[in-house]
Amino acid sequence: MAKINPGEFMRQVQAETRKIHWPSRQETVTTAIFVGIMTVLLATFFLGVDALFGWVVSSLLSLL
């Protein structure tokens, strides 16, 4: 394992930090709204699927 001194490590960290592309406020808000909408849509979908499976299982069990 190669040893590296703390000063060199900090220079490497700073160099990598400069490469980061931070999103703008508009990109962050747009992404957050999209995530919220998709969460609601998927929750509604899985609620419907769960209700359908529940109904199917109840129907099958009532036949016994």
Query: What is the token pair recorded at 47?
Result: 């609620």
Question: Torsion angle, CA of 53/54/55/59, rounded to 10 degrees?
Answer: 100
**CB hemisphere CA count around 48 (13 angstroms):** 6
48-58 tens-digit pLDDT: 999 999 999 99
Q: Per-residue confidence at 3, pLDDT binned at 50, 70, 90? A: confident
Task: Examine the pLDDT at 1 and tell me if it is beyond 70.
Answer: no
Distances (CA, A) of 52 to 24, 38, 39, 41, 42: 42, 21, 20, 17, 15
